[in-house]
Amino acid sequence: MTMAARDARLRALSPVFVDRVVLFVDGREIRPTNAEYLPPREERPGDLMPPLATFRLRGRMPSQARHLRWLYGLVIDPYPLKIRRADGRAVTEWIHGSDWSGVVDLSGQFRQVTRLEVARDYVALGYTHILPKGLDHILFVLGLFLLRLRVRPIFAQVTTFTVAHSITLALTMLGFVSLPSRIVEPLIALSIAYVAIENLMTDRLRPWRIVLVFGFGLLHGMGFASVLSDLGLPRDEFITALLSFNLGVEAGQLSVIAAAALCVMWCGQRPWYHRRVVVPISLAIAAIGGYWTVARAFL
């Protein structure tokens, strides 16, 4: 079995972990909200055992939690449960199959995060969702940038895109708007292909482009909301986290534009700029967007 096939099979088990892992906190059952598969690192000389894959479970723990019991209803063989405490101590217990763990003392392990800490964390999450993780959003922003190397068209498009995706990000997270990802993701890919193809045909900002960028921004906002839903938002600081994530996204987009501007600044005014720079890059973006559209819609 190839590593890619192995990772695909293990990643498909993520919902099983969400279903089978139970935490009993202060007499109340708590379930993970999602599970993320992390592939093992590459094996290195000197490793005594092959590197292990990891499933990272996320969920909400009461801030005043005092006692924890663990149940993993997926195995029948004994396994070790190791809990690393915030004070540096580690608690290890061997559990027999589907038995409950003993009671783990959580006293002093949780504290209420401040609004500033929430803002800092979600700005970072928004930024890293664009750089380096958001290749589809990076390509879309590059497609907007490449139309014309002038401040006005770049500003008009990016501002329109920002307003649009901010609207649907907020409405989706507040529960007013919802579209399944099987619809949103192919349309996001199609938007990437479209802006790149239009760059091949014109270097002028037409009114319909602004309208389409706004519509595409609405779709991208739903994509951002899907990621943010997986990450979760703190109920006590919902608005702070939402605005901070959006701010991080904007910072990521501006970083993409700044990096692109630095790369083409020296040749942007040359007569061959469109033919030698815009056309080949736009062709590549259009090809990637087209492939993603088909893959996300049919594969």
Tell me, yes or no, whether 50 and 145 share the same domain.
Answer: no
pLDDT tens for residues 21-80? 888 888 888 888 888 888 887 766 665 567 777 888 888 777 778 888 888 877 767 777
pLDDT score of 46: 60
CB 101 within 8 A of CB 69: yes
Nearest to 141 by CA among 27, 254, 57: 254
One domain, residues 215 and 265: yes
Domain membership flag for residue 280 = yes
Residues 174, 61 share a domain: no
| Distance, CA of 191 to CA of 147 (rounded, Å) | 14
Q: Is the peptide bond before 132 cis (omega within 30 degrees of 0)?
A: yes
Residue 91's pLDDT is what? 72
Can you give the pLDDT at residue 32? 85
Cα–Cα distance, 274 to 262 (Å, whole number) = 16
Q: Tell me, what DSSP letter sits at residue 24?
A: E
Helix (H, G, I), strand (E, B) or coil at 224: helix
Quick one: 200 and 261 in the same domain?
Answer: yes
Query: Which tens digits make up the pLDDT trace of 113-153?
Result: 788 988 998 999 899 999 988 899 999 999 999 998 889 99
Q: Tokens at residue 137, please?
A: 């959003």
pLDDT over 80 at 180, yes or no: yes
pLDDT in tens, 218-249: 999 999 988 887 777 777 788 999 999 999 99
- Choosing from 70, 105, 140, the residue where a domain stops is 105
**Residue 15 CB contacts under 8 Å (≥ 6 apart), including other chains:** 35
Q: Is residue 87 very low, low, confident or very high in pLDDT (cuts 50, 70, 90)? A: low
pLDDT of 282: 97
pLDDT at position 158? 94
The pLDDT score that the predictor gives to residue 276 is 93
Same domain? 165 vs 42: no
In this predicted structure, the answer to whether residue 197 has a pLDDT above a threshold of 70 is yes
Q: Nearest to residue 179, comparing CAs of 213, 134, 214, 229?
A: 229
Is 98 found in the same domain as 227?
Answer: no
Regarding whether 145 and 59 lie in a shared domain, the answer is no
What does the pLDDT read at residue 49? 63
Q: How confident is the model at residue 203 (pLDDT cuts 50, 70, 90)?
A: confident
User: Do 65 and 97 share a structural domain?
Assistant: yes
Q: Are residues 85 and 219 in the same domain?
A: no
Q: Which of 16-30, 170-184, 222-236, 275-289 shows the highest mean pLDDT?
A: 275-289
Q: Which domain holds residue 252?
A: 115-298
